[in-house]
Amino acid sequence: MQTFTTDLLCIGAGLAGERVAVAAAEAGFGVICLSLVPSRRSHSSAAQGGMQAALGNCAKGEGDSPDVHFLDTVKGSDWGADQEVARIFVDNAPIAMRQMAHWGVPWNRVVPGTSTYFKGGKQFEKTEKAENEGLIAARDFGGTAKWRTCYAADGTGHSVLYTLDNRAVQLGVEVHDKVEAISLIHDGERCMGAVIRCLKTGELSVYLAKATLIATGGFGRIYRETTNAVINDGGGNIIALNTGVVPLGNMEAVQFHPTGIVPTDILITEGCRGDGGTLLDKNEYRFMPDYEPDKAELASRDVVSRRMTEHMRKGLGVDSPYGTHLWLDIRHLGVKHLTTKLREVDEICKNFLGVDPSKDFVPVRPTQHYSMGGVRTNKDGAAYGLKGLFSAGESACWDMHGFNRLGGNSLAETVVAGMVVGGKVVEFLKGYETFFCTKTIDAAVKFERERIAGLISGKYGTESVYQVRDAMFDSIMKGAGIFRNGKDLQTCVDELEAIHERAGKVSLRSNGLGANPELAVALKIQGMVKLALCVAYGALKRTESRGSHAREDFPERNDRDWLNRTLAYWKEGDSLPTLKYEDATPYFELPPGDRGYGGGKIIPADPAKIVVKEKNNG
């Protein structure tokens, strides 16, 4: 068995993982990144629309500032965000975007002169100033007061990831791909690294580090219908939860993106609506202004997804063999726009649907997309419960998104949090000395060897891992989808408890040797069901509606009782997570109020509990 040692172990080599790695490598520390796939195939590369940062370079972004970005972010979170973290994010986002430009990201740039743009299907004009020529341009995104989403056509994630990966290579960051972390090595107080399984050979190895980072992305693959790649199965969240001491935060906060294509659920960027696309029903009627007169298609994602679902429930959706859907109309944007600024969308529609978006409607429906919940960390990215463990990106609950994240904020978070958390990891490494306990390491490896042997031999039972996974898919989609209610959530929790028991009785139909996808799923299936239970049980207990968490039986946002964050712990032997709660934010720079879109009643908080702190006031 091989043993690797390094200063920083990054589990995940997407944008967040590599940005933290770059910060550590720049400071002279040794870094190893682990990845299920080659680093440039990380799911970050699939991000299309852009990154939010208040640069104020373009005509429709004039007057923008970090303060305006902060207001949009906190309102978008439905006041579930940690406002201290949101402030750190918005203040650092412009720095990070310019830094990425310096490293080589080919951002779209401001072109001076008068040009046309679309909003709500109508054509307008804007005039860009000559003095802004060549500055980073921006497009419109949902829930924002200004155009601030920096973009590289609709391949932003691809462009930024390739640039960042080049930077990592320059600094000597090692990337070990086609491997998966199956457990953390810890003594209940300190994290020492991880047990790793090679996806090609099945062999186990040990990676020891002074600091370990979880940056494995989201857990969307606990849902059947999702925009997430197959690698987004929550592996990093699972190994953190399995420690018993690291909590996951706000797991009930799951975002559905309004425009996944039917039937494949591949994402169609919010940039389509930001650039002027509209949503139509079966009568080719544009319905969103009826629900959201001010924001229409560019209300926040949780609101648009709910409005689309409400409209389809009224019988106004388009029937198809793959279920009911609605139409996205981007024909009026024109061939030139579609083949330049939305070229990936154009190619996806043509290659996966056989639809030419310059001539035809695109079939879309709300689809699971993003996980606001994740490994709970403090503002420095340090995980609760284990010293030496950090997390960043979608796998983390940092928590700038609260109960709904704005489009463009999460992709920006990868490099902004990567920069901020990376700096804190460097500080930690400079002042931290540790030792590695061979007894603890040997016990962790032995446990995993015996677990794998038991799955191969049929020691635990005869359940099929794929049947168990299908049962999980069926249950969570019915109970913890876009709309939720107590009855369906209780049924979902009860079903998932039984499914969790079944997941402990899985055996393999294959021999488990070598590159074996069945074994890879079998090693995670109990953990995936645990994540599903954290979502459903947290949603059952949260008797309010906030952001993406919409309870039909409790439609009010209840600031009096629920202005807090859920922490889910999993104790060994339990069939349900243990839920605890902490204040949503240490102080309020922006006291709770109305979002300005989405409607709904608010039960106000006790004013005595709203501690307001002025910006930059110490």
Residues labelled as active-site residues: 257, 273
HEC states along 509-544?
A: CCCCCCCCHHHHHHHHHHHHHHHHHHHHHHHHHCCC
Cα Rg, the chain, nearest whole Å: 23
- CA–CA separation, 378 and 370 (whole Å): 21
- Other CB atoms within 10 Å distance of the CB of residue 108: 18
Tokens standing for 456?
Answer: 């191969």
Q: Which helix (H) or strand (E) holds 469?
A: helix 465-479
C-alpha to C-alpha distance for 295 and 575, rounded to whole angstroms: 43
Q: Provide long-range contacts, Cβ within 8 A and 24+ apart, for 383-386.
A: 383/191, 383/214, 383/240, 383/246, 384/246, 384/247, 384/567, 385/243, 385/245, 385/246, 385/247, 386/184, 386/186, 386/189, 386/190, 386/191, 386/243, 386/245, 386/246
Cα(183)–Cα(185) distance, rounded to whole angstroms? 7
State the angle between helix axes of 465-479 and 486-503 in degrees (0 to 180), rounded to the nearest 10: 170
CB 409 within 8 A of CB 143: no
Altogether, the residues listed in the chain come to a count of 618
| Cα–Cα dist 330/337, whole Å | 10
